[in-house]
């Protein structure tokens, strides 16, 4: 299948669309600014004065631009009938971190390979609409969101192996850093005789940017000029017979390794992280994230970087293990690790975003994420009356980024939208990616579905219909894109993922219809015990919009601390509407049960995979790195695909 790199089949139609949008855009922008004036912004002083001064100006120019916008609309509307449903963008990377190189890493042999997925609703609406969610400045947020995701995902991992002849378990103290915060000379120092439970080492890399970025655009804001390698891994071994004390002779060596990384690692290499003995820290511990954020902020505040760059620059995460003992989980009562993390997971492979509605914001986001992801699909959806029953003024808001090559893609628009939701072409984006090839030249592929369901709370039947459509479309997509047969399999399926903002939770009594949908029979939800019953550690992903700008949750570190406590979750997460009067008012949530509304899902399927292969969750995290930039918490999942073979 050919992926569409331009929105129109030929340059003539593209030029006509450019002209039509140039006529429409001034009216669109002025109307957006005019409406935004009347929505309170807590960061804006003298708002009443701004209304008095700017309303006549915006209104005058708006009236002037209306005739041009009308002509542009007459030209723009018929063009949408031939517009393609998405734009595919590839930034070719020939380094060892590129998609082509990643395909050679896994041949479908050995114990298996892990893949990391993330999903987030980023609320990149026109500013006047975003302000209704108590979020502001869409264009700046788009750039900062991309900056934080890129730097969180591209940070290296530090693996610390503890060789002990007596201790056969990983203690809490093992999640540690062997490097102290920077001294006055700016160099990290080894701490003899002690191991601190911080699990982080400061990282000041180039945030996943390609070398060509720096040549063309200069260093990224807030990036040190001599950041060093992205994926320099620090491997430190601690002998058990030292009684927990680092040998003095090795202090400088350990410190030097932590600063410079393992020798011989190619610059820019970002190999996918697969499960190793004792590796349990790729998403980082809660305490680690807090302390490392403080250090990152202290080191970057004076760099003159972008706003929020302190939290965009994620430090190293120490991944601690015991060798050669088997991997130990931090949560023995659960089949996988789970946490609230201040960072996106390192070595993130696939990213699915929702509510990327604004075109200019989508372009800014794409440009930032291309520093890490080689393959991106954006501007997904339809406009006008094409393919849907009513006029669509916005696209679907779906956005997909991948480190692995995209083989096929398809988009379908839900046809049963209602009310204000019908103005956007909400739908489902289906993707087929290649993640490896066998020694017999069989492709190893995976399927990913990204969606955003109907939002209005009382329309459960509409959402169930949309889930029915999604399952039917997914079955058709897999059938149409499969080149395998039972007798001659040309492809091996490694995983099948469904993710996105489903706009219902698993604790509201009003959402019982969706909770019992067959989607949850076909796919597994790592956070769910059953219909209406969540796992104790699962938390809501919808933030209380009234508290988004509070200082207590203004940084990833602060938000992480808040969400680790039950009182904090009740204060700053959105809960199901209670029928008791006043129960949902801020500060009066004592009667509410659970941990908030979890609207953002990450599901995985076990059916239809390669025979004898098994997909199991390794880690699941709720991420606070986008605090202050959106009203949702991103979620991430690391999935281990086991082949059933023993490691040689």
Q: Which residues are catalytic?
A: 632
**Token digits for 222?**
């807030």
Other CB atoms within a 10 A radius of the CB of residue 235 amount to 12
**Token digits for 591?**
């009667």
What is the four-CA torsion angle of 130, 136, 141, 145, rounded to 10 degrees? -70
Cα separation, 83 vs 21, in Å, equals 14
Cα separation, 253 vs 259, in Å, equals 10
What is the four-CA torsion angle of 25, 28, 31, 36, rounded to 10 degrees? -100
Query: Is the separation of the CB atoms in 276 and 161 below 8 Å?
Result: no
Cis peptide, bond prior to residue 468, ω within 30 of zero: no
Cα of first residue to Cα of last residue in the chain, in angstroms, is: 38
**Token digits for 166?**
């007596």
Among 506, 435, 520, CA closest to 470: 520
How is 529-581 classified by DSSP, letter by letter?
EETTEE-TT----BB-GGGTT-GGGSSHHHHHHHHTSHHHHHHHB--PPPSST
CA atoms in the 13 A half-sphere facing the CB of 565: 10
Cα separation, 383 vs 361, in Å, equals 17
> Across the strands, what pairs with 120?
353
């Amino acid at each position: 299948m050919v992926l569409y790199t331009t929105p129109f089949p030929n340059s003539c139609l593209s030029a006509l669309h450019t002209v039509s949008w140039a006529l429409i855009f001034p009216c669109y922008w002025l109307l957006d600014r005019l409406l935004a004036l009347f929505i309170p912004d807590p960061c804006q002083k003298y708002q009443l004065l701004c209304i008095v001064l700017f309303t006549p100006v915006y209104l005058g120019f708006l009236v002037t631009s209306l005739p041009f916008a009308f002509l542009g609309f007459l030209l723009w509307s018929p063009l949408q009938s031939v517009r393609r449903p998405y734009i595919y963008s590839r930034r070719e990377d020939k380094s060892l971190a590129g998609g082509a190189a990643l395909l050679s890493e896994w041949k479908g042999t050995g114990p298996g390979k892990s893949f990391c997925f993330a999903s987030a609703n980023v609320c990149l609406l026109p500013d006047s609409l975003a302000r209704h969610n108590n979020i502001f400045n869409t264009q700046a947020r788009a750039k900062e969101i991309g900056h934080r995701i890129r730097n969180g995902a591209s940070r290296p991992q530090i693996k610390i192996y503890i060789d002990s002849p007596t201790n056969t378990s990983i203690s809490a103290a093992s999640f540690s850093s062997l490097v102290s915060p920077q001294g006055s000379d700016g160099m990290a120092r080894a701490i003899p005789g002690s191991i601190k439970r911080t699990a982080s080492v400061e990282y000041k890399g180039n945030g996943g940017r390609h070398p060509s970025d720096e040549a063309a655009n200069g260093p990224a804001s807030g990036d040190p000029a001599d950041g060093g390698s992205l994926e320099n891994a620090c491997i430190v071994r601690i002998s058990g017979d030292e009684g927990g004390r680092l040998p003095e002779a090795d202090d400088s060596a350990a410190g030097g390794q932590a600063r410079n990384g393992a020798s011989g690692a190619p610059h820019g290499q970002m190999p996918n992280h697969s499960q190793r003995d004792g590796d349990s820290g790729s998403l980082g511990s809660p305490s680690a994230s807090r302390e490392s954020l403080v250090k990152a902020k202290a080191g970057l505040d004076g760099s003159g970087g972008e706003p929020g760059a302190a939290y965009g620059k994620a430090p190293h995460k120490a991944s601690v293990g015991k060798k050669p003992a088997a991997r130990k989980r931090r949560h023995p009562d659960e089949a996988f690790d789970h946490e609230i993390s201040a960072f996106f997971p390192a070595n993130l492979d696939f990213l699915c975003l929702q509510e990327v509605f604004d075109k200019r914001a989508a372009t800014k986001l794409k440009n930032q994420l291309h520093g890490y992801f080689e393959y991106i699909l954006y501007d997904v959806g339809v406009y006008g009356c094409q393919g849907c029953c009513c006029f669509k003024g916005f696209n679907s808001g779906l956005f997909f980024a991948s480190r692995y090559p995209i083989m096929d893609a398809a988009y379908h628009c839900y046809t049963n939208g209602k009310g204000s939701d019908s103005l956007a072409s909400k739908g489902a984006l289906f993707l087929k990616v290649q993640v490896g090839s066998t020694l017999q030249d069989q492709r190893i592929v995976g399927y990913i579905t990204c969606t955003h369901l109907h939002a209005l709370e009382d329309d459960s039947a509409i959402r169930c219909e949309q889930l029915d459509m999604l399952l039917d479309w997914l079955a058709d997509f897999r059938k149409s894109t499969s080149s395998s047969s039972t007798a001659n399999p040309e492809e091996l399926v490694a995983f099948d993922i469904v993710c996105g903002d489903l706009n219902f939770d698993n604790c509201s009594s009003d959402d019982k219809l969706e909770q019992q949908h067959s989607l949850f029979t076909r796919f597994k939800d790592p956070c769910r015990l059953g219909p209406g019953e969540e796992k104790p550690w699962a938390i809501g992903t919808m933030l209380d919009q009234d508290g988004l700008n509070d200082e207590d949750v203004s940084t990833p570190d602060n938000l992480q601390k808040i969400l680790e406590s039950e009182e904090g979750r009740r204060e700053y997460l959105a809960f199901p509407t209670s029928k008791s009067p006043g129960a949902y008012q801020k500060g009066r949530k004592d009667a509410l049960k659970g941990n908030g509304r979890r609207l953002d899902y990450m599901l995985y399927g076990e059916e239809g995979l390669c025979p004898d292969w098994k997909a199991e969750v390794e880690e699941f995290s709720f991420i606070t790195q986008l605090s202050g930039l959106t009203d949702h918490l991103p979620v991430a999942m690391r999935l281990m695909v086991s082949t059933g073979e023993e490691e040689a």
